[in-house]
Protein backbone atom coordinates (compact mmCIF):
# COMPACT_ATOMS: atom_id res chain seq x y z
CA UNK A 1 0.00 0.00 0.00
CA UNK A 2 1.57 3.33 -1.03
CA UNK A 3 2.06 6.23 1.35
CA UNK A 4 -0.68 8.86 1.35
CA UNK A 5 0.05 12.25 -0.14
CA UNK A 6 0.40 15.24 2.21
CA UNK A 7 -2.98 16.63 1.02
CA UNK A 8 -4.84 13.30 0.96
CA UNK A 9 -7.31 14.14 3.74
CA UNK A 10 -7.70 17.69 2.44
CA UNK A 11 -8.77 16.54 -1.02
CA UNK A 12 -10.96 13.80 0.41
CA UNK A 13 -12.79 16.36 2.57
CA UNK A 14 -13.07 18.80 -0.35
CA UNK A 15 -14.65 16.13 -2.55
CA UNK A 16 -17.14 15.23 0.18
CA UNK A 17 -18.05 18.92 0.57
CA UNK A 18 -18.54 19.02 -3.21
CA UNK A 19 -21.14 16.24 -3.03
CA UNK A 20 -18.97 13.21 -3.86
CA UNK A 21 -19.13 9.88 -2.06
CA UNK A 22 -15.70 8.36 -1.48
CA UNK A 23 -15.98 4.76 -2.63
CA UNK A 24 -12.32 3.73 -2.51
CA UNK A 25 -9.42 4.96 -0.40
CA UNK A 26 -7.27 4.02 -2.26
CA UNK A 27 -8.70 2.73 -5.53
CA UNK A 28 -6.84 -0.46 -6.46
CA UNK A 29 -6.24 -1.11 -10.14
CA UNK A 30 -5.20 -4.67 -10.96
CA UNK A 31 -3.86 -5.56 -14.36
CA UNK A 32 -2.15 -8.92 -14.65
CA UNK A 33 0.06 -9.56 -11.65
CA UNK A 34 0.59 -5.88 -10.90
CA UNK A 35 -1.42 -3.74 -8.50
CA UNK A 36 -1.58 0.03 -8.80
CA UNK A 37 -3.23 2.43 -6.38
CA UNK A 38 -4.92 5.68 -7.31
CA UNK A 39 -5.39 7.84 -4.20
CA UNK A 40 -9.20 8.03 -4.26
CA UNK A 41 -12.22 6.64 -6.06
CA UNK A 42 -15.48 8.60 -5.80
CA UNK A 43 -18.96 8.67 -7.25
CA UNK A 44 -21.77 11.17 -7.50
CA UNK A 45 -25.34 10.62 -8.62
CA UNK A 46 -26.20 12.93 -11.50
CA UNK A 47 -29.93 13.37 -10.89
CA UNK A 48 -30.78 14.89 -14.28
CA UNK A 49 -29.22 11.94 -16.10
CA UNK A 50 -30.00 9.36 -13.38
CA UNK A 51 -26.48 8.05 -13.73
CA UNK A 52 -23.65 7.42 -11.32
CA UNK A 53 -20.62 9.52 -12.31
CA UNK A 54 -17.39 7.82 -11.20
CA UNK A 55 -13.98 9.40 -10.90
CA UNK A 56 -10.50 8.44 -9.77
CA UNK A 57 -8.32 11.11 -8.19
CA UNK A 58 -4.55 11.12 -7.96
CA UNK A 59 -3.36 13.74 -5.47
CA UNK A 60 -0.08 15.60 -5.82
CA UNK A 61 1.31 18.24 -3.45
CA UNK A 62 4.07 19.63 -5.68
CA UNK A 63 6.38 20.10 -2.70
CA UNK A 64 9.59 18.98 -4.42
CA UNK A 65 12.51 21.15 -5.45
CA UNK A 66 11.06 21.78 -8.91
CA UNK A 67 7.47 22.11 -10.10
CA UNK A 68 8.55 20.75 -13.49
CA UNK A 69 10.13 17.68 -11.92
CA UNK A 70 6.98 17.12 -9.85
CA UNK A 71 4.88 17.59 -13.00
CA UNK A 72 6.94 15.04 -14.93
CA UNK A 73 6.42 12.44 -12.20
CA UNK A 74 2.73 13.24 -11.87
CA UNK A 75 2.20 13.00 -15.63
CA UNK A 76 3.93 9.62 -15.76
CA UNK A 77 1.64 8.28 -13.06
CA UNK A 78 -1.40 9.89 -14.66
CA UNK A 79 -0.72 8.32 -18.08
CA UNK A 80 -0.15 4.90 -16.53
CA UNK A 81 -3.34 5.07 -14.44
CA UNK A 82 -5.32 6.46 -17.38
CA UNK A 83 -4.33 3.57 -19.63
CA UNK A 84 -5.08 0.95 -16.97
CA UNK A 85 -8.45 2.55 -16.16
CA UNK A 86 -9.33 2.57 -19.86
CA UNK A 87 -8.81 -1.20 -19.87
CA UNK A 88 -10.52 -2.23 -16.65
CA UNK A 89 -12.98 0.56 -15.84
CA UNK A 90 -13.45 2.80 -18.89
CA UNK A 91 -16.42 4.70 -17.46
CA UNK A 92 -14.32 6.14 -14.59
CA UNK A 93 -12.67 9.52 -15.28
CA UNK A 94 -9.20 10.22 -13.92
CA UNK A 95 -8.29 13.59 -12.39
CA UNK A 96 -5.07 14.99 -11.00
CA UNK A 97 -5.71 17.03 -7.84
CA UNK A 98 -3.24 19.85 -7.19
CA UNK A 99 -3.16 22.88 -4.89
CA UNK A 100 -4.81 25.94 -6.41
CA UNK A 101 -1.59 27.97 -6.17
CA UNK A 102 0.20 25.39 -8.33
CA UNK A 103 -2.68 25.35 -10.80
CA UNK A 104 -2.60 29.13 -11.12
CA UNK A 105 1.18 29.20 -11.51
CA UNK A 106 2.07 26.12 -13.55
CA UNK A 107 -0.99 25.92 -15.78
CA UNK A 108 -0.88 29.60 -16.70
CA UNK A 109 2.61 29.03 -18.11
CA UNK A 110 3.00 27.92 -21.75
CA UNK A 111 3.93 24.36 -20.73
CA UNK A 112 0.79 23.94 -18.64
CA UNK A 113 -1.40 25.53 -21.29
CA UNK A 114 0.07 23.14 -23.84
CA UNK A 115 -0.82 20.12 -21.70
CA UNK A 116 -4.38 21.36 -21.35
CA UNK A 117 -4.65 22.26 -25.04
CA UNK A 118 -3.52 18.75 -26.00
CA UNK A 119 -5.99 17.24 -23.50
CA UNK A 120 -3.27 15.44 -21.60
CA UNK A 121 -5.01 15.58 -18.26
CA UNK A 122 -8.00 16.66 -16.23
CA UNK A 123 -7.34 18.70 -13.10
CA UNK A 124 -8.96 19.41 -9.78
CA UNK A 125 -7.65 22.59 -8.21
CA UNK A 126 -8.19 22.72 -4.43
CA UNK A 127 -7.66 25.19 -1.61
CA UNK A 128 -5.64 23.39 1.08
CA UNK A 129 -6.64 25.77 3.90
CA UNK A 130 -10.39 25.79 3.27
CA UNK A 131 -10.49 22.16 2.08
CA UNK A 132 -12.63 23.05 -0.94
CA UNK A 133 -12.51 22.43 -4.66
CA UNK A 134 -11.67 25.70 -6.40
CA UNK A 135 -11.92 24.53 -9.99
CA UNK A 136 -12.53 21.49 -12.19
CA UNK A 137 -10.38 21.85 -15.30
CA UNK A 138 -11.60 19.61 -18.08
CA UNK A 139 -10.12 20.41 -21.49
CA UNK A 140 -12.75 20.68 -24.21
Domain ranges in the chain are 8-137
Pairwise pLDDT comparison (51 vs 122), residue with the higher score: 122
- Pairwise CA distance, residues 78 & 131, whole Å: 23
- Pairwise CA distance, residues 52 & 85, whole Å: 17
The stretch 73-80 carries a mean pLDDT of 95
DSSP-based three-state secondary structure for 128: coil
Please give the mean pLDDT across all residues of the chain.
92
Query: Phi/psi at 72 (nearest 5 deg)?
Result: -60, -45
Q: How many residues does the chain have?
A: 140
| 8-137 topology per CATH | Trna Endonuclease; Chain: A, domain 1 (3.40.1350)
Is the predicted pLDDT of residue 102 greater than 90, yes or no?
yes
Give the pLDDT score at 23. Answer: 96
- pTM equals 0.92
* pLDDT tens for each residue of 15-57: 999 999 999 999 999 999 999 999 999 999 876 556 788 999 9
Per cent of the chain over pLDDT 70 is 96
Amino acid sequence: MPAKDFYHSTVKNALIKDGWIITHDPLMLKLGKKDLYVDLGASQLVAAEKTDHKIAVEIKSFTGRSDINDLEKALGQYVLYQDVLAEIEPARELFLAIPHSISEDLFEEPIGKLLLKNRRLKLISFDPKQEVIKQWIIPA
